[in-house]
Amino acid sequence: TRSTRPQRLLGAVQKNATRGDPGSVIQAIDHYCRNKEWAMNVGDEKGCILDSVVSEVNPATVLELGTYCGYSTVRIARLLPPHAKLITLEFNPAVAAIARQVIAWAGLEDKVQLVEGASGDFIPRIKEQFGVKTFDLVFLDHWKEYYLPDTKLMEECGLLRKGSVLLADNVVCPGAPDYLEYVRSSPRYESRYFKSHLEYTKVEDGLEKSVFLG
C-alpha cells in the first residue's frame, strides 16, 4: 500500500540528515517540504521566531500540543538547557510513531516525552501523571478550534503561572479567531503578534505570543 506523507518525510530525514544532529534533521525536513511535498510543520521562517521565543524564555518545562512529525519538537528540544523537559501531545498514533523516530534521529529522546491522546483528556491529568507543577512555555499547534478551550482548561488546572508564555501557530492560516480575541482582550494576558508566512508558502500567517499575568 502507498506510503503516508509522514512516512515519506521520515525517509527524507533518514536519507539526508546525520544521526544526533538536530540542525541537519530540521534542514532535511524543510528541504523536503519546500521542494518535494508540503507538510504542516511550523517551517523555517516561523521556526526562527519559535527559536527566539524559546531562547528568551529558556524554559525548564515545555508543553507542545500537536507533535505531527516532530519538527517543532526538535526545534524546541535542541535549545533546551540540560534537565529541561518537553512534553508533546499527538492525537494520531501512526503520526506519533513517525515523530518518535524523527526525535530519536535528532538524538533528543532524553529531553522529550511524547504522549498519545486528546488534549481535553490529557491536560487535567498532567500534574499528577507527569509531576509537572506549571509550564514555562506552551506551544499550541493542534486543532485550531481547541486553542481557546484548552487554554481555559490549562488556566483552570493551574498549569500556568505568572510569566508563563503561550506561543500559538497558525493564528491567521488556518486561523484561531476566538483564541486571538480572548488573549488580546483578556487583562490576564499580554499578547503580541509575530507576522510571518504559512510554512513553505507566501500566504500570510503568524505566531501569537501571550504572556500569562496570573
Find the binding residues for ligand 766 in span 127-166 (CB under 6 A).
141-143, 146
Query: What would the grid cell of residue 202 be?
Result: 507566501
Name which of Mg ion, ligand 766, none residue 174 binds, using a CB cut-off of 5 to 8 Å depending on partner kind: ligand 766
Residue 138: closest CA among 157, 129, 24? 157
Catalytic status, residue 16? no
Q: Tell me how far apart the alpha carbons of residues 29 and 10 are, in angstroms, rounded to a whole number.
A: 8
Catalytic status, residue 199? yes
Q: Which residue from 30, 44, 90, 208 is in contact with ligand 766, where contact means CB under 6 A?
A: 90
Q: Is 94 buried (19+), middle (13-18) or exposed (0-12) by CB count in 10 A?
A: exposed
Binding mask 1-30 for ligand 766 (x = CB under 6 A): ------------------------------
Catalytic status, residue 144? yes
Q: Tell me how far apart the alpha carbons of residues 201 and 170 are, in angstroms, rounded to a whole number.
A: 13
What's phi and psi for 115, nearest 5 deg? -120, 135
Q: Which residue from 136, 141, 205, 208 is in contact with Mg ion, where contact means CB under 5 A?
A: 141
Q: Which residue from 90, 150, 169, 208 is in contact with Mg ion, where contact means CB under 5 A?
A: 169
Residue nearest Mg ion by beta-carbon distance: 169
Catalytic status, residue 169? yes
Task: Write out the H or E segment, with its range, that includes residue 71.
Answer: helix 71-77
List C-alpha distances in Å: 46 to 115, 134, 154, 187, 205. Answer: 24, 25, 24, 27, 9
- Per CB under 5 A, 44 contacts Mg ion: no
Name the residues that contact ligand 766, by CB under 6 A. Answer: 40, 65-66, 89-91, 118-119, 141-143, 146, 169-170, 173-174, 198-199
Catalytic residues: 141, 144, 169-170, 199
Name the residues that contact Mg ion, by CB under 5 A. Answer: 141, 169-170
